[in-house]
Structure 1
Amino acid sequence: MRGWRTFWGEGRLDRSVRRVLPNSFLGRSLLIVLIPLLVTQGIALELFYGNYLHVMSRRMSESVVSEISLSLDFLERYQTRADRAWLTKQVRSRTQLAVEWHQNAKLTKLGSTHVVGPMDEDLVRTLQAFISYPFFVDWLTDEHHVFIMIQLPDGVLKVDAPRKRLDVGQIWLFVLWALGSSLLLFSVAALFMQNQVRAVRRLAKAAEQFGLGRDVGPIRPEGAREVRKAAVAFNRMQERISRFVIQRTAVLAGVSHDLRTPLTRLRLSFAMFPQSGMVDAALLRDDVHDMIGDVAEMERLIESYLSFARGEGAEAPENLDVAMLLEDVAAAIVRAGGRVMGVACEPGLVIEARPDAMRRMLGNLLENGRRLNAALWLSARHEGHSIMIEVDDDGPGIPPERREEVFRAFSSSKKGGTGLGLTIVRDIVHAHGGEIRLGQSARGGLNVCITLPR
């Protein structure tokens, strides 16, 4: 149980950290630079203002308080009016402390008005250590002077000390300098990181476009050595795959020609077969008709197999008007005897895709419905950064447990099919970077939902 709680706590902590961290590679790289920079500046501030500032503030406070203490000793020894007037004049000229004596005055406040920095606490602590009389320190009345009032038995001694003798300097100057230098260094690092990330982004975009079947050409290697190596490897991979597809398509074209030639000769031989002067002419005509049908079926099977193996990989993508595409496919299936009840498409939908492959994909879907004598509906709409195409029918549908199985090759060869229709459909959809799902249609039959990137 303890191990489970530890795992659960670490999992929640990991998810919380990931929610805070930037998602982009550039953001995380800059964060790696920024955090050590801030930590370094924080340590520098702590070392400077935690040690040097305290030491200097304490020494400056001791210097001022020692002069005040010496003045108090003289005031206690020489108490005549003339002596005290001479003493205040000497203190002013020799110590830069303006001393005023207020006979029979009383302090109304004690302590100190607090300011930012260690100098306030250091001055109060030093006064308590050197002087046994009550006192009040005023830091706020004048920004250039600090007023120290000391309560003596017969009056109040007011000391006007220059602030520069107690204040090391404005802390904000050092903070601004530290932040300014950090910002400058961070900006320089951001420029370098942006150049490195740009090369990674270009490589990722080229890989994505190539995965969608779009010819992006070789990309220029740039950036760090590892990124340049990845770009060179991608160019070589792209070249090998393209060469393989071209060679395979050429081989399949030759195989298609070689297979169609004997089938054409068989069809011609059956057509020229003599059909008169024989006893069983009618029976022979039936046999020849059946054999011609078998040859046609073989041609159709070969075409389906070659189309599946070819994968339409040699076709170049184009900008297609989705509404026009749906209308063309619907018109073709109507000419073949299908029943298309409606075509609905949002205006202005354009997709970059291979035209023949898209027509073959939609044609296979509609052909399945036509073979079942089902009514068909086509629709397309924009959804986020994708285009969604749906095909609905009122046929028997496909049970949920078989919807994944029908995408496998040769698993749905019924009613004259080859078992490759939906396999080819999914292959084309995935080649365009999309997804396909089967579901229950509101018309009562099957719903095919295709999502393609724009």
Structure 2
Amino acid sequence: MIRLRARLHIPRPIKRWLPTSLFGRSLLIIVLPVAVMQIAVTWAFFDAHWDTVTSRLSEGLAGDVAWAVESYKDDPSPAALDRLAERAQDSMDLSIALQKGKSLPAGKRNSLFRVVDRSLNRALSDRLDAPFWFDASGDHYPAHVDIRVKVPQGVLRIIAPRDRAFATQGHIFILWIVGATLLLTAVAILFIRNQVRAIERLADAADAFGRGIDQAAFKPHGAREVRQAAQAFLAMKARIQRHIEQRTALLASVSHDLRTPLTRLKLEIALAEPSPQLEAMARDLSEMEHMIDEYLAFARGEGGEEARQVLLRPLIEGVCEGAVRSGAKVELSIGDDLTAILRPNAFKRALANLIENAAAHGETVRVSSTAAPAGGVWIFVDDDGPGIPEDRHEEAFRPFNRLDESRNQNEKGVGLGLAIARDMARGLGGELTLQKSPMGGLRAVLRLPG
């Protein structure tokens, strides 16, 4: 059976504006449909109900205005105008006054809701034959509508309550809609945040465990699926810890078993009569011991050592002094207050490998460090040797690869120094890369978390 899987394609410009976090996407999934629904309901309300009610009210007000204008035209005397104004005030709540010799205003005032202007203008145009002007904004007369009609004697001004022109309770509906949307959004934020926090804690615990930091206080919580993922993580963490403990015990036993015969051989050579053959055997034993040390260091990895915040200068100075005693020429430039999260013994072993590798292929080694812009520390190990072609930088990190074609062969090395150093850096959440050195050789860039 062939299954066809449909996939919604979102245009790239829209993707740039979409949230990338789980919290943002979950909130968007919940809030966006609610907002669209509220907008649709509001539009339907104003289009089907509020507009209809406003049109009916405007038509009724326009009819009363037309009656008042026609009544005044039938008898424009002051006495008749007084009677008309009194009757309109009592029965229609309209205030009527004559502005003799006046003309209609030139400008037009727009109200907050354009539908009011359209409805009232349409109703007055249908009922009145004379020119007219109206102001429904309420700037001069709050909660009232100012209507002016041109008559031969001047302008007949009619002031009417606003609720006679349109439904004034529409804003209450909008407030309810907005309030409900805000309430639903707040509830969604509260519940989504609680679910996302459980996933964030699981991610933090996994990241910390990957860097060798054990968060003993972590416990599964949150939704059922998140708890299942957390329990699976704890089970995996326990299996990995048992494996590390078993491997550490095995390596300790192997180290002891291998060093015992080596020690006996070295002792026998030391007690024997000196000869060129014995000197060659001693060199072979020394090389064998060095190779075993590198193999065990590579296999040991983290070795169960806890990562912690450490001041870098004493560690780096100790490694550089050891390299100088071995005959390397090392220049040191490092700040006094730089710190990083690392495993001290693993870091010293990795840095010693980098310095030893640089010293084996160059005359001068320079070790420097600086604070990284995004947090953490950069440590640079430069040499003035032949370097490595850029297209073979990644190849240099492969275990047991010495790149003899591009650099002089290190007789004591087995091609594990860079692999051990990168394994240490990545185990802490950092990285080790290679670049061309300003000294002309190779630069190793070790980035450590701060």
Deviation at residue 349 of structure 1 after TM alignment: 0.4
What whole-Å deviation, never above 9, does each CA across 1:258-290 have from its counterpart, x for those lacking one?
2223333444455556x5xxxxxx7xx443443
Deviation at residue 107 of structure 1 after TM alignment: 3.8
Unaligned runs of 5+ in 1: 1-9, 276-281
Is contact 1:138–1:146 with CA below 8 Å preserved after alignment? yes
Instruction: Say whether residues 1:447 and 2:443 are aligned partners.
Output: yes
In structure 2, do the counterparts of structure 1 residues 272 and 136 end up closer, same or farther at CA, with 3 Å as the change threshold? Answer: closer
Is contact 1:439–1:446 with CA below 8 Å preserved after alignment? yes
Report the equivalent of 1:40: 37
Q: Which amino acid aligns with 1:388?
A: W
Q: 2:322 aligns with which of 312, 321, 332?
A: 332
What whole-Å deviation, never above 9, does each CA across 1:191-222 have from its counterpart, x for those lacking one?
22221221122112112212222222362112
Q: Percent identity?
A: 39
Report the equivalent of 1:307: 297
Report the equivalent of 1:357: 346
Within a 5 Å distance, the mapping from 1:245-256 to structure 2 comes to: 245-256=244-255
Secondary structure of 2:379's partner? strand
Q: 1:347 aligns with which of 336, 339, 345?
A: 336
Q: TM-score, normalised by structure 1?
A: 0.85
In structure 2, do the counterparts of structure 1 residues 252 and 51 end up closer, same or farther at CA, with 3 Å as the change threshold? Answer: same
Instruction: Say whether residues 1:194 and 2:190 are aligned partners.
Output: no
Within a 5 Å distance, the mapping from 1:122-161 to structure 2 comes to: 122-139=119-136, 140-152=139-151, 157-161=156-160
In structure 2, do the counterparts of structure 1 residues 157 and 353 end up closer, same or farther at CA, with 3 Å as the change threshold? Answer: closer
Q: Which amino acid aligns with 1:346?
A: G
In structure 2, do the counterparts of structure 1 residues 105 and 338 end up closer, same or farther at CA, with 3 Å as the change threshold? Answer: closer
Q: 1:382 aligns with which of 334, 358, 371?
A: 371
CA distance in 2, matches of 1:359, 1:352: 13
Deviation at residue 169 of structure 1 after TM alignment: 1.1
CA distance in 1, matches of 2:337, 2:399: 35
CA distance in 2, matches of 1:167, 1:249: 84
Deviation at residue 98 of structure 1 after TM alignment: 3.1
CA distance in 2, matches of 1:23, 1:240: 33
Measured on the aligned residues, the alpha-carbon RMSD in Å equals 2.9
Deviation at residue 101 of structure 1 after TM alignment: 5.5
In structure 2, do the counterparts of structure 1 residues 120 and 426 end up closer, same or farther at CA, with 3 Å as the change threshold? Answer: closer
Is contact 2:387–2:441 with CA below 8 Å preserved after alignment? yes
Report the equivalent of 2:355: 366
Report the equivalent of 2:406: none
Q: TM-score, normalised by structure 2?
A: 0.86
In structure 2, do the counterparts of structure 1 residues 252 and 156 end up closer, same or farther at CA, with 3 Å as the change threshold? Answer: closer
Within a 5 Å distance, the mapping from 1:160-199 to structure 2 comes to: 160-169=159-168, 171-199=170-198
In structure 2, do the counterparts of structure 1 residues 326 and 134 end up closer, same or farther at CA, with 3 Å as the change threshold? Answer: same
CA distance in 1, matches of 2:367, 2:92: 98
CA distance in 2, matches of 1:417, 1:380: 26
CA distance in 1, matches of 2:426, 2:29: 37
Is contact 2:329–2:363 with CA below 8 Å preserved after alignment? yes
Secondary structure of 2:444's partner? strand
Q: 1:407 aligns with which of 389, 393, 397?
A: 397
Q: Which amino acid aligns with 1:194?
A: R
Q: Which 10-residue stretch deviates more, 399-408 or 234-243? A: 399-408
Secondary structure of 2:370's partner? strand
Is contact 1:100–1:157 with CA below 8 Å preserved after alignment? yes
Q: Which 10-residue stretch deviates more, 421-430 or 396-405? A: 396-405
Q: 2:92 aligns with which of 91, 95, 104?
A: 95
In structure 2, do the counterparts of structure 1 residues 401 and 110 end up closer, same or farther at CA, with 3 Å as the change threshold? Answer: closer
Instruction: Say whether residues 1:223 and 2:218 are aligned partners.
Output: no
What whole-Å deviation, never above 9, does each CA across 1:2-23 have from its counterpart, x for those lacking one?
xxxxxxxx99x51x33432334
Q: Which amino acid aligns with 1:347?
A: D
CA distance in 2, matches of 1:24, 1:66: 59
In structure 2, do the counterparts of structure 1 residues 62 and 390 end up closer, same or farther at CA, with 3 Å as the change threshold? Answer: same
Q: Which 10-residue stretch deviates more, 222-231 or 242-251? A: 222-231
Q: Which amino acid aligns with 1:29?
A: S
Is contact 2:354–2:421 with CA below 8 Å preserved after alignment? yes
What whole-Å deviation, never above 9, does each CA across 1:13-63 have from its counterpart, x for those lacking one?
51x334323343323333333322322222222122222111111111222
Give the length in aligned residue pairs.
Answer: 432
In structure 2, do the counterparts of structure 1 residues 433 and 106 end up closer, same or farther at CA, with 3 Å as the change threshold? Answer: closer
Q: Which 10-residue stretch deviates more, 263-272 or 387-396? A: 263-272
Deviation at residue 121 of structure 1 after TM alignment: 2.1
Is contact 1:221–1:228 with CA below 8 Å preserved after alignment? yes
Q: Which amino acid aligns with 1:357?
A: A
Deviation at residue 298 of structure 1 after TM alignment: 2.6
CA distance in 1, matches of 2:154, 2:341: 95
